[in-house]
């Protein structure tokens, strides 16, 4: 072992024992395999008033945790540095060290001073993060859906789902000002599935914001609908119900303020978007899934750099479909953004289309520019109008100028 490696292990050992250790990050695996870890994060935690060091190991989409005393942690880091991971970052109260190992195991060690020292109090292993729906506090719908235990703790196997729910609630919080300030807020959730996020919407609006709601969750599967309605009855929730039905055929005789479509498959997303526009929904959230429509019609010789590779063909078609959807929503009166829903490590389907209805109609100049760009894009791909455009035209929601520009 060279001197840099020995010095680094001594630094690790000292910081673990003298209270200066803040974190370590092991990355850049020496060998790549789906069965081997890709990263380990280490941080100090207090467990039953004892200082431990928590190792968070990521392997594929799985995350495991283990807690060690100082000597054990030092040994684990010694075994992993260089042999399993080539890069190891050590951060102490005043310094930051980076150990890089080459293919032969030789270590190169560099130090940088930290800009400021920080609080040296180890994190409480059970502390509640600053979530809108916190861990550590009993939440009935999370308990009923199996995310949380009865004592208010999020189950380890559902920690990612818990973070996803809170990220989603943040999106709801960000558009509350676009919803009616008085009276009930009416929400439609297309293809609600197990309804974690439907219940989260209800909880946020009623329990946190103290608003009246009328929420309808729609799904095709009768067993899912029955399960969700059972939870509604058990928790005695007001203003939320679940119905069996298809997105394309659903009708609402009342104003819809928030329309949600999360992971509706293929053109079911388009049916949901078109219905929401027809109802003049204040806000639309859509996380598209399985965008096969364009992939099936896109000629393989139009974009051969993509189409020569099946996975790239599918991804390109998915992105192009969502770009067209965003453009169409802008054309019919919405300020539209395509945003990251949650981190890619959780799911590849992580794009959120957020559309907020404008107070004023789109100007002829902006409509001309929007439509011309989309027409040119469609001509480059040599594809006909997609499902959303067809539905908007069917409902009479595209202007005459728009129809002239992008008609098939």
Mean pLDDT throughout 11-16?
Answer: 92
Query: Angle between the 196-203 and 159-175 helix axes, to the nearest 10 degrees?
Result: 50
The pLDDT tens digits of the residues spanning 143-153 come to 999 999 988 89
* Neighbour-count burial for 35-57, b at 16+ CB within 10 Å, e otherwise: eebbbbbbbbbeeeeeebbbbeb
User: Alpha-carbon distance 264 to 131, whole Å?
Assistant: 27
Unique residue bearing structure tokens 């899912």: 224
Mean pLDDT of all residues in the chain?
Answer: 86
First to last CA, the chain: 70
Secondary structure (3-state) at 309: coil
| Residue spans of alpha helices (H) in 186-244 | 196-203, 222-235
Which pTM value belongs to this model? 0.66
Mean pLDDT throughout 198-221?
Answer: 94
Task: Kindly tell me if the per-residue pLDDT of 126 is higher than 50.
Answer: no
Which position has the higher pLDDT, 181 or 346?
181
Report residue 299 as tokens. Answer: 């000629």
User: Which domains, from first to last, does the chain contain?
Assistant: 3-124 (no CATH), 140-406 (3.40.50.150)
Torsion of CA 116, 122, 125, 127, to 10 degrees: -60
Residue 154 CB-half CA count within 13 A: 20
User: Alpha-carbon distance 405 to 91, whole Å?
Assistant: 58
Task: Kindly tell me if the per-residue pLDDT of 295 is higher than 80.
Answer: yes
Residue 70 binned pLDDT confidence (cut-offs 50, 70, 90):
very high
């Amino acid at each position: 072992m060279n001197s840099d490696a020995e010095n680094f292990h001594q630094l690790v050992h000292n910081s673990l024992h003298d209270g200066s250790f803040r974190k370590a990050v092991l990355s850049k695996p020496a060998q790549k395999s789906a069965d081997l870890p890709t990263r380990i994060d280490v941080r100090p935690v207090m467990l039953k008033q004892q200082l431990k060091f928590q190792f968070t190991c990521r392997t594929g989409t799985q995350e495991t945790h283990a807690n060690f005393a100082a000597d054990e942690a030092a040994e684990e880091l010694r075994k992993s540095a260089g042999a399993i991971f080539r890069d190891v970052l050590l951060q102490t109260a005043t310094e930051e060290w980076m150990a890089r190992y080459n293919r032969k195991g030789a270590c190169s060690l560099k130090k940088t001073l930290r800009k400021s020292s920080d609080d040296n109090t180890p994190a409480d292993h059970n502390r509640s993060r600053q979530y809108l729906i916190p861990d550590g506090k009993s939440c009935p719908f999370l308990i009923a859906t199996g995310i949380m235990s009865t004592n208010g703790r999020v189950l380890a196997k559902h920690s990612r789902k818990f973070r996803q729910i809170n990220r989603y609630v943040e999106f709801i919080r960000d558009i509350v000002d676009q919803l009616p300030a008085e009276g009930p807020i009416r929400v439609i959730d297309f293809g609600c599935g197990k309804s974690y996020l439907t219940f989260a919407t209800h909880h946020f609006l009623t329990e946190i914001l103290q608003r009246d709601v009328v929420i309808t969750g729609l799904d095709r599967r009768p067993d899912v609908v029955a399960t969700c309605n059972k939870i509604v009855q058990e928790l005695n929730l007001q203003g939320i119900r679940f119905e069996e039905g298809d997105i394309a055929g659903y009708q609402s005789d009342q104003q819809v303020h928030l329309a949600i479509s999360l992971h509706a498959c293929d053109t079911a997303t388009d049916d949901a978007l078109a219905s929401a526009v027809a109802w003049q929904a204040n806000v639309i959230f859509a996380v598209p899934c399985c965008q096969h429509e364009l992939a099936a019609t896109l000629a393989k010789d139009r974009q051969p750099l993509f189409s020569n590779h099946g996975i790239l063909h599918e991804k390109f078609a998915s992105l192009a479909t969502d770009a067209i959807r965003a453009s169409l929503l802008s054309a019919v009166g919405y300020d539209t953004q395509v945003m990251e829903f949650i981190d890619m490590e959780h799911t590849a389907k992580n794009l959120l289309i957020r559309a907020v209805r404008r107070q004023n109609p789109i100007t002829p100049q902006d409509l001309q520019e929007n439509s011309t760009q989309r027409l040119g894009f469609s001509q480059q791909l040599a594809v006909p109008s997609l499902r959303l455009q067809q539905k908007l035209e069917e409902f009479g929601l595209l202007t005459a100028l728009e129809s002239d520009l992008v008609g098939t």
